Structure 1
Amino acid sequence: MNRYVLRNATIYTPYFTIDRGCIYIEDGYISEVDMEPCASTDMKAIDLHNYVVGPGFIDTHIHGILGVDVMDAKPSSFLSMSRALLRYGVTSFIPTTVTAPHNTIIEVCKAFVEAYSQWTPLVGSRLLGLHLEGPYISSKRAGAQNKQFIRSPCIEEFKEYYSICRGLIREVTIAPEIEGAIDFIQTVSKMDIAVQIGHTDATYRETVQAILAGASKATHLYNGMREVHHREPGVVIALLSTPTVYIELIADLIHVSREMLKFTIDYAGVDRIILITDAVSATGMPDGIYELGGLKIKVENGISKLAEGGGLAGSTLTMDKAFRNIISLGYSIGDAFRMVSTNPAASIGAVERERIGLIRPGYRADLVVLNRELEVVMTIIDGYIVFNRI
């Protein structure tokens, strides 16, 4: 069914709230958004009284879920992630690598391209491209990345990845203080790729230089970064104080406290915040021992840590939980949708390129339907109802 109307829903576009609204869907796109009473039509109607509809969640930083991992380097793993994310309201996502040997990243790129060619809306969440989180990062701030494979940025190596990925690299994380980083940022930011600053020990000055060179996003702010100091404000303050930089936050209330989340959102402004999961393969699985980029991780009470050293190693967060967590801090549902949908899309140019992240005529019918408890009850991709428990 790809031609129908959703009626009587509370719609968050997210810039407007329509208390009793209609969304007309034709051939995978939104053809009209209106208020009740809606015009009569021969379209099939789905009554969503007492339900909330917003643009589908977009996770731009995720490593794995339900036992599969991006670094498996298998097309089936990407497609399994795609299917698994539907129940959490995710309509689009960017699988994210970790620091690894050159040939391993090559194999990941090949597997992604194959999965991308097989994807349809009926498979699952939309594959937007890859995020290379490493290998061009700081050994001092490696976090749960394998230090053995960290290396200096090499534009020739990156262009090989880009070529094998057929231009489907959408984001790359880099530490701006390492040798060759600024030249790398200048080159890559001109390739329609979002350059992110993360896993870094950069000073304030080094970070500003990176932003001026074209860096436009912060990779999970605070985590894997030099701490703030009143005599050397460092990377965090440079990123926060630059209005053109998007800010990733892991809103699991573990990586960043409630107080710091609220401070960051209030200071930076809602339109700069991108909620991510940074989820690993243990997400949706029982506690136990798992792996991330060749490093053993131990999950206890849903908290993922390195088995050796005990540092945080990704998360088991899902986007629907991140959405509810932010609302629990006092933010509106409309603001939350901007942080999980519109801003992630805007940060990689997907509002214009893929026509996602907004409920507006001419945009893709990528939607999430929530009940009054803000639990996902329906996921729609290109107009296809791909998850439904109403």
Structure 2
Amino acid sequence: MTEKIRGRVVRPGAVVPGIVEVDGPTILSVAEHADAGDDIILPGFVDLHCHGGGGHTFTRGDAGEAAKAAAFHLRHGTTTMLASLVSSPYELMRDATAAYLPLVDRGVLAGIHFEGPYLSAARCGAQNPEFLREPSLEELGALVRLGAGAVRMMTIAPELPGALDAIRYLAAQNVVAAVGHTDATYEQTLAGVAAGATVGTHVFNGMRPPHHREPGPVVALLDSPAIVCEFVADGIHLHDGMLRFAARATPHRGALVTDAMDAAGMPDGSYELGGQEVAVTDGVARLVRDGSIAGSTLTMDATFRRAVAAGLDLPTAAAMAATTPARALGLSDELGALEAGLRADLVVLSADLRVKRVMRAGEWI
């Protein structure tokens, strides 16, 4: 059964009045049409980096919790997402991989992202320092084999002993290696890129700051054509001016992410992340022990609105929220844009960019 959705269709480089025709789970056609209305039609959001939401978390390895967190973000337009864990003991990583594999098989999750534990102690941010350690090919191999394709991304600090070998291994296994929570020099970061890293984890945050005599990881990642750079657009992680600059410096390589924790969509109060107490005040999450930013309380529709308010046009923001992250996961031949033949994942926004309807694989949520 076909269905026609009318509105201002956001396509690569343009916004056109038109109709998206859906046939079952697939986009049949996208055509211009006058008087299509004021609704804005975007491809479904793709979130590479999310720890939870709606009071539910991905970080403990509980499949029921994970399904509820994914459902919360789906209602906000995220039709494809990775479940991000934080630095954890190997046993938790193993158990989470086994628990989330059925969710990946059913399409509830696009895969698992391990943010750590192979990270810099000097730039650990809200990661629990108790669980940080040097990369282990034995651990990685066991997780990748157990995941059978469910392990999709891992964040590593490239300056650690054994990190480059770990990045090479991940790349050879079609697992995205991301550079993040790193005190690396410019040269050490480029060595990670040369080894096969293809993503920068929430660039600027959890990294040695740039300096004109030591550019560090920020400049190395922004300037590397092979790297998709994640940005957390909440006005807390990044000033709007820095977001605008970074987006323009990385055309077709910038990706909006939420980095959300379970407090997303919930009241201010006390929460937990990786065994550490978090206080959320005015929607900003910080560790109680030292005030470090502890993820965000964002949803993808909120980060999209923030990016547009910061000065990005609709096609650029849509590419950063869907097309580019889909490509980073190797899914651009399946989703991430409003094009015939791709999966019918779309978000219908009002003129003020509020979610009205969400479709995933041709079904309204």
Aligned residue for 1:308, secondary structure, equals: coil
Could you say which residue in structure 1 is the equivalent of 2:12?
A: 14
Shift of 1:48: 6.2
Question: Is the CA contact 2:98–2:147 (under 8 Å) kept in the aligned structure 1?
Answer: yes
Aligned residue for 1:178, secondary structure, equals: coil
What is the CA–CA distance in structure 1 between the aligned matches of 2:63 and 2:231, rounded to whole Å? 28
* Residues 20-59 of structure 1 mapped to structure 2, 5 A cutoff: 21-36=18-33, 49-59=37-47
Shift of 1:129: 0.4
Question: Partner letter of residue 12 of structure 2?
Answer: P
Question: Is the CA contact 2:244–2:312 (under 8 Å) kept in the aligned structure 1?
Answer: no
Question: Is the CA contact 1:3–1:383 (under 8 Å) kept in the aligned structure 2?
Answer: no
What is the CA–CA distance in structure 2 between the aligned matches of 1:17 and 1:233, rounded to whole Å? 37
Question: Is the CA contact 2:19–2:36 (under 8 Å) kept in the aligned structure 1?
Answer: no
What is the CA–CA distance in structure 1 between the aligned matches of 2:316 and 2:214, rounded to whole Å? 32
Shift of 1:166: 1.7
Q: Structure 1, residues 196-243: CA drift from partner, whole Å, max 9, x if none?
A: 100000001101111111111110011110111222111111111112
Shift of 1:193: 1.5
* Residues 1-390 of structure 1 mapped to structure 2, 5 A cutoff: 3-7=2-6, 9-19=7-17, 21-36=18-33, 49-117=37-105, 119=106, 126-269=108-251, 271-352=252-333, 355-386=334-365
What is the CA–CA distance in structure 2 between the aligned matches of 1:362 and 1:251, rounded to whole Å? 31
Shift of 1:60: 0.8
**Which stretch has the larger CA shift, 258-267 or 359-368?**
258-267
What is the CA–CA distance in structure 1 between the aligned matches of 2:38 and 2:183, rounded to whole Å? 48
Question: Is the CA contact 1:173–1:219 (under 8 Å) kept in the aligned structure 2?
Answer: yes
Q: Structure 1, residues 135-157: CA drift from partner, whole Å, max 9, x if none?
A: 11111111111111111111121
Aligned residue for 1:275, secondary structure, equals: strand
What is the CA–CA distance in structure 2 between the aligned matches of 1:243 and 1:380, rounded to whole Å? 32
Question: Is the CA contact 1:60–1:94 (under 8 Å) kept in the aligned structure 2?
Answer: yes
Higher Cα Rg, which structure: 1
Question: Partner letter of residue 235 of structure 2?
Answer: L
Question: Partner letter of residue 38 of structure 2?
Answer: N
What is the CA–CA distance in structure 2 between the aligned matches of 1:215 and 1:33, rounded to whole Å? 35
**Unaligned runs of at least 5 residues, structure 2:** none
Question: Partner letter of residue 82 of structure 2?
Answer: I
Aligned residue for 1:350, secondary structure, equals: coil
Could you say which residue in structure 2 is the equivalent of 1:123?
A: none
Aligned residue for 2:49, secondary structure, equals: strand
**Unaligned runs of at least 5 residues, structure 1:** 38-46, 121-125
Shift of 1:322: 0.7
Question: Partner letter of residue 147 of structure 2?
Answer: C
Question: Partner letter of residue 363 of structure 2?
Answer: Y
What is the CA–CA distance in structure 1 between the aligned matches of 2:146 and 2:272, rounded to whole Å? 26
What is the CA–CA distance in structure 1 between the aligned matches of 2:144 and 2:190, rounded to whole Å? 26
- Over the matched positions of the two proteins, sequence identity in percent amounts to 37
Aligned residue for 1:32, secondary structure, equals: strand
What is the CA–CA distance in structure 2 between the aligned matches of 1:358 and 1:10, rounded to whole Å? 14
Question: Is the CA contact 1:153–1:180 (under 8 Å) kept in the aligned structure 2?
Answer: yes
Question: Partner letter of residue 56 of structure 1?
Answer: G
Q: Structure 1, residues 242-290: CA drift from partner, whole Å, max 9, x if none?
A: 1221110000010111121122112222x11000000001111111110
What is the CA–CA distance in structure 1 between the aligned matches of 2:37 and 2:216, rounded to whole Å? 49
What is the CA–CA distance in structure 1 between the aligned matches of 2:27 and 2:137, rounded to whole Å? 40
Q: Structure 1, residues 292-342: CA drift from partner, whole Å, max 9, x if none?
A: 011110101100000111111101011111111111122111111001000
What is the CA–CA distance in structure 2 between the aligned matches of 1:327 and 1:67, rounded to whole Å? 27
Aligned residue for 1:351, secondary structure, equals: coil
What is the CA–CA distance in structure 2 between the aligned matches of 1:13 and 1:172, rounded to whole Å? 30
Q: Structure 2-normalised TM-score?
A: 0.97
What is the CA–CA distance in structure 2 between the aligned matches of 1:363 and 1:201, rounded to whole Å? 40
Question: Is the CA contact 2:53–2:265 (under 8 Å) kept in the aligned structure 1?
Answer: yes
Question: Partner letter of residue 5 of structure 1?
Answer: K
Question: Is the CA contact 1:14–1:54 (under 8 Å) kept in the aligned structure 2?
Answer: no
Question: Partner letter of residue 2 of structure 2?
Answer: R
What is the CA–CA distance in structure 1 between the aligned matches of 2:132 and 2:359, rounded to whole Å? 39
* Aligned residues: CA RMSD: 1.4
Question: Partner letter of residue 172 of structure 1?
Answer: M
